[in-house]
Structure 1
Amino acid sequence: MEANDETMSASAQRDGQAPLVVQVVRQYAPGRGGLEDVVGNLSRLLLARGYRVRVVTCNSLFTDRERLLPASDVIDGVEVVRVPWSGSTRYPVAPQVLRHIRDADLVHVHAVDFFFDFLAVTRPFHGKPMIATTHGGFFHTRKYAAIKRLWFRTLTRLSCLAYRAVVCCSRSDLDLFDTIAAGRTVLVENGVDTEKFAGLASSRPRRRMITIGRFSINKRLERLLDATARLVEKDPDWHLDIVGSPSDLTEADLRREIAARGLVEHVGLHVAVPNETVRQLIAGASIFVSASDYEGFGLVAVEAMSAGLLPVLNSNEAYRSLADKHSVIRLADFDDVSKASEVVEAALADLISDPEATRHALIAAASSYSWDTVVGHYDAVYRDALAE
């Protein structure tokens, strides 16, 4: 296989000559989220480049763990194998993954969880070359922070030794993993489907915000609701749409929080809605907001930029890294909802002053995260790992 070959023939795939890359990830379609999107887009584009691809994942969604999904499937041309699991959704134990990497040429593990540690410990037995992508590690919340730091510095450090490359999907991940895996880390920022919502945001600036993502504690949706309440006090035209699926928080939890703040008329809650509905909501909005205290990369914020939505983001490490590259992004401290609401108002004022220029800057900034570029970086990492 020549280093400059970007694709392999279909006949080579049929004959089994193309390398088989097994993507291992705790959740996949029909689940929806940033991790699922990344693995889905990467797998689909690897097929187009001539690789054979298999995804191994858990056999139920964490939001509905009693409903078992089919043991095997094909989604967008990608073979999907689902294995039984037990334990916590943060560390799902699924040892049957070993059965499905026996014929792999390369194993690609996504996120730092059971799969990451288990496949590292069992590498003397399966012997497969492996790479891993960090996806923020496991520091998404401050809960059990001391234990997490100890685990990271000991067990995660040892597990990294089994991987030929540790791919960091953000600058903050690179800085973190360099402390335990120097010489193995490589920066490949996440790809984003910049066509999915391209240019959809309202061409007329409006007092309408949207946030998209799982209903998890680290997203701090209660802070967004507090900031929205402050905005509504000043101008009742303000509206927030919350789009996502239940996680640590349920739909009932959020409806209770919305009602407690008197925001029923000013906040729309959209649970597990199809992309067409999301497109319609984006088309009526001007600002994307996130009060998240931790992100691995900030994929949804970039998707929002591709739509022409102006992001107002909590000043966490990943969002600061994005803002350092793209000055059009606004950062706010959502611990101070009064000041955060002022940043939102200032963002809308800037948008009103020059909507076309702002919109153009947002879409141009998002274009640098196109998957066409990112899959080329992964292709290079794969080739190095296979050659090694």
Structure 2
Amino acid sequence: MDTYSKPALRVLHVVRQYPPSIGGLEEYVSQLVERQSGSARVTVLTLDRVFGSSRKLKRIQRINHAVVVRVRYVGFSRFFIPFVSPRLLRRYDLIHLHALDQLTDLISLYRWLGIPPIVVTSHGLFFHTHKFNSIKQFYFKTISRATLSRAKRIFAVSRNDQVKLGEIGIRSEVLPNPVEPFPWLYGGRRNFIYWGRIAENKAVDRLIPFFRQIINADKNRKLFIVGSGTPADLQRLTEGIRSAELPQSIIRFGYLDRADLQALIEDCGYTVSASRYEGYGMVQVEGMSAGLLPVMQNNSAFEELFERSGAGLLLDFGNPEAAAERFLDWESTLPEQEHDQARNFALKCAWPPAAARIEAMYRDVIASGC
């Protein structure tokens, strides 16, 4: 009997930031590579510094089941020039690029030099703030369009991303970001929690005046803010909490591991986000898996999530008084079963079916040749 077995697929994931950096994109890639490690040889290519830090990280390191290769770059988070050799890229059978940035642009350009086929996941593109919007639009319609035209397949994480890609003639298929569900943690508490990156586009500071209005109605509530960010963003948030004179009611944490985060979620009833722009809303779905309800800024990604799940509330945190009043009115008539509805939706967004779709896409791309 022929005992020959085909070598495992060699997959390279490319993402600008990876642990020890913390964020939704980092979490997504970490979860994906762990699920692929049983059937593929998985490597992660990323930058050698966390944005906002000057500390160089190890050039090669094993994190869980993946080898992480870090490359030098010059620049900053919005625009950087990475130093990547095509020789490194030729070691793999397929390259999976995550998000649109200069790493994606450079590696797609290397297709002319015979590197393996590339696939792309959109992760919200790069319209997270209105800053430099005209430059971003020009970049998107020219460089990004050329970059994406070299990809064999493209996954959009939302219909919003798919529409934007269609505007520049790029076809994609929607695959919402899957989540690792929490156990049921909701116990009837009414505190709020935000977790994720502390950054300008997340508008975490806009939660403070909203929560002040909530406190006026119920002094026993708390708002937990969990996440890391640049020193400037963290300082701005700390000053906002201090000037609002709510240090006992708004409690800020840095990075928490999953066990500590679960303990905090257990004390809450709602996830809350005032983010001006989101690619999808992975944290909100994770919170729903624990039985929490999402209270969200009325942006296109959250509108889509609300429409699909039928759970939670959309608000305009730019008007904190009206937002708080609307929340309290909604909460007063809230049926308990909506927490179950939220969890049932989130459990349908778990990893196994998404990972299977991605693996099938890899097989199709490899079978079709370069």
- TM-score bracket, shorter-length normalisation: over 0.9
Aligned to 1:146: 134
Shift of 1:41: 0.9
The number of residues matched between the two structures is 366
8 Å Cα contact 1:83/1:97 also seen in 2 = no
Q: Indicate whether 1:297 and 2:280 are aligned.
A: yes
CA–CA distance in structure 1, aligned partners of residues 262 and 40 of structure 2: 32
Structural mapping, 1:192-231, within 5 Å: 192-194=179-181, 197-201=182-186, 203-206=187-190, 208-231=191-214
Aligned to 2:220: 237
Aligned with residue 321 of structure 1, among 301, 304, 323: 304
TM-score, normalised via structure 1 length: 0.90
CA–CA distance in structure 2, aligned partners of residues 306 and 271 of structure 1: 22
Aligned to 1:277: 260
Aligned with residue 249 of structure 2, among 266, 269, 272: 266
8 Å Cα contact 1:191/1:371 also seen in 2 = yes
Q: Indicate whether 1:74 and 2:62 are aligned.
A: yes
Aligned to 1:93: 81
Aligned to 2:355: 375
Q: Indicate whether 1:54 and 2:43 are aligned.
A: yes
CA–CA distance in structure 2, aligned partners of residues 366 and 231 of structure 1: 27
8 Å Cα contact 1:170/1:188 also seen in 2 = yes
8 Å Cα contact 2:200/2:233 also seen in 1 = no
Q: CA RMSD in A?
A: 1.7
CA–CA distance in structure 2, aligned partners of residues 181 and 106 of structure 1: 24
Amino acid of the residue matched to residue 132 of structure 2?
Y
CA–CA distance in structure 2, aligned partners of residues 71 and 152 of structure 1: 31
Q: For 2:45, what is the secondary structure of its paired residue?
A: strand
Aligned to 1:44: 34
8 Å Cα contact 1:56/1:80 also seen in 2 = yes
Shift of 1:97: 5.1
Amino acid of the residue matched to residue 58 of structure 1?
L
TM-score, normalised via structure 2 length: 0.94
CA–CA distance in structure 1, aligned partners of residues 85 and 77 of structure 2: 16
Percentage identity across aligned positions? Answer: 31
Shift of 1:54: 0.7
Segments of 4+ in structure 1 off by > 6 A? none
Greater CA drift, 105-114 or 151-160: 151-160
Greater CA drift, 313-322 or 228-237: 228-237
Aligned with residue 246 of structure 1, among 229, 232, 243: 229
8 Å Cα contact 2:86/2:113 also seen in 1 = no
Aligned with residue 24 of structure 1, among 6, 11, 14: 14
CA–CA distance in structure 2, aligned partners of residues 216 and 359 of structure 1: 29
CA–CA distance in structure 2, aligned partners of residues 224 and 57 of structure 1: 32
Structural mapping, 1:94-113, within 5 Å: 94-96=82-84, 98-113=86-101
Q: For 1:228, what is the secondary structure of its paired residue?
A: helix
Structural mapping, 1:304-315, within 5 Å: 304-315=287-298
CA–CA distance in structure 2, aligned partners of residues 181 and 39 of structure 1: 27
Q: Indicate whether 1:332 and 2:315 are aligned.
A: yes
Aligned with residue 174 of structure 2, among 181, 187, 200: 187
**Structure 2 residues without counterparts, runs of 5 or longer:** none
CA–CA distance in structure 2, aligned partners of residues 215 and 248 of structure 1: 10
CA–CA distance in structure 1, aligned partners of residues 86 and 212 of structure 2: 50
8 Å Cα contact 2:86/2:115 also seen in 1 = no
Aligned to 1:364: 344
Structural mapping, 1:169-180, within 5 Å: 169-180=157-168
